[in-house]
Amino acid sequence: MGEHTASRKTANPTDGIVDAVRGAVVDVVFAEEDLPSINSALVVEWDRPTPLILEVHSHLDLHTVRAVAFQSTAGLARGVSVHATGGPVEVPVGTAVLGRLLDVVGNPQDNGPELAKDTPRRSIHALPPLLKSQTGATEVYETGIKVIDLLTPMAQGGKAAMFGGAGVGKTVLVMELIRAMVEKYEGISVFAGIGERSREGHELLTEMQSSGVLERTVLVYGQMNEPPGARWRAALTALTVSEYFRDQKHKNVLLLMDNVFRFVQAGAEVSSLLGRLPSRVGYQPTLATEVARLQERIASVAGSAVTAIQAVYVPADDFTDPAVTTISSHMDCVIVLSRAQAAEGFYPAIDPLASSSMLLDPLIVGEAHYETAEAVRQALARFRELTDIISLLGVEELGASDRLIVKRARRLQRFLTQPFMVTEAFTGTPGASVVLADTLAGCRAILDGEADDWSESSLYMVGTLEDARKKEADAKASETSDAGPAA
């Protein structure tokens, strides 16, 4: 302790000294026993151009705190002075941050001008709205994506999550939803990029600039190459910006998060560095608490709604993973992306049977929508049951009614695919947005046998049933013209 005592004599009584550095976790010793409180911010006074922000997470003894760093600690040495700010980490909010790309502590990272000194700031830690002030979500939010609007309707002011393994199209689906919603949506969008690749973040930024929606959007990034502290708190920074627009400006907010699993993963890294024993499957013992603290703040109050759309990576396609089950328990709408669907070329690769929504209720969506959705689901479920028999014996061995169900289910599968606007540059197929009435009419017609004689390919990657009808007519016309000279 001799070294600490000497350090204390030279330090300002409210300042501390770096005592130990373990990657993203830093121990700081203070001379006084009046230690900074949990979740308060510390600033490391080192010789680098950017300040190093720490957040206090535990008091080890009467003089030592353990803190998590929000930036890289490379080059940090013992004995460096640390200043206690006396309050939590505060980030800029309000109209000044619209159209800007911020890091976890609110510094602009888009090569634009610095934020004004008088920009309002808010703590990243806040309590959720009181239960009595929250409003329920029953208004359906049309996305223009057929399979979502039909089978897993989203709620205005609700929470929806897309679950899927690596490479099944979560980010593409989130980007399509951003494009679809911002066009119809008179509100503010806040995007939290949590632990995603820098390439994806750059693509999203350029996509938003080119589509002209950046002026009403705030981007908060804690990328994959950043320390776990930055990835862990980026979601709270985005939430804080959303809450300001909801509570102070009374605006509707669309909150997008990609990827919430990385938030859990960063929490697990921090937890082990803080010295906590791991829990199930190696996750942090505080997993349920951390996810609940994040999700319960995403709430709507009278007059302004926060609608959350979240992408969730599923490790090794294991949907029983503790992180996945914990996150899904907070959702109104669960959209499951399936590798089998993607392998067959059905995009968006949404599993219609595993996905669900609390809004798919006749009292909310109406009897016609509910009955159509149930009929589609029953046809697809029966087809899935018969798949093994078909692969062993062939379709011819089925009964007449089952053969008819298989024929219609295969056409429904293809009709529920859709070309996206964000993939036009890669596929060459113009994107399609379909209103709910057209989706319902198309599914109803297929179930009633209107498309029984059509080629299955006519229904693949089209918008409405009219588009499919036109495609079928064009295919027949070209067949006739091809057959003409040969005859």
> What residue has token string 């908060």?
220
Which residues, in sequence order, are bridge partners of residue 134?
A: 301
**Catalytic option among 22, 184, 197, 280:** 197
Paired tokens of 139: 């208004």
- Which residues pair with residue 254 across a beta bridge? 189, 307
- Of 55, 176, 196, 243, the catalytic one is 196
Helical segments of 44-169, H only: 146-151
Catalytically annotated residue among 8, 170, 297, 471: 170
The angle at the Cα of 438, spanning 435 to 443, to the nearest 5 degrees, equals: 125
Q: How far apart are CA 443 and CA 376, in angstroms?
A: 7
Ramachandran bin of 212, using left for φ above 0, alpha for ψ from -120 to 50, beta for the remaining angles: left
The question of whether 339 is a catalytic residue gets the answer no
Note whether 349 and 169 are within 8 A (CB): yes
Q: Do the Cβ atoms of 104 and 234 come closer than 8 Å?
A: yes
CA gap 115, 97 in Å, rounded: 8
170 catalytic? Reply is yes
User: Distance between CA 13 and CA 20 in Å, rounded?
Assistant: 19
Q: Of 321, 295, 341, 299, which Cα lies nearest the Cα of 170?
A: 341
359, 138 Cβ separation under 8 angstroms: yes
Distance separating alpha carbons of residues 444 and 374, to the nearest angstrom? 11
CA distances from 375 to 124, 140, 364, 371, 372 (A): 46, 20, 18, 6, 5
Residue 209 token pair: 């600039």
65 sits in the region (left: phi over 0; alpha: psi -120 to 50; else beta) called beta
DSSP result, 204-235: HHHHHHHHT-GGGEEEEEE-TTS-HHHHHHHH
Determine the Cα–Cα distance for residues 47 and 192; give it in Å rounded to an integer.
Answer: 30
DSSP string, 289-338: HHHHHHHTT---BTTB-EEEEEEEE-GGG-TT-HHHHHHHTT-SEEEEB-
How do strand 81-88 and strand 40-44 relate by DSSP bridges?
Answer: antiparallel
The residues that are catalytic are: 170, 196-197
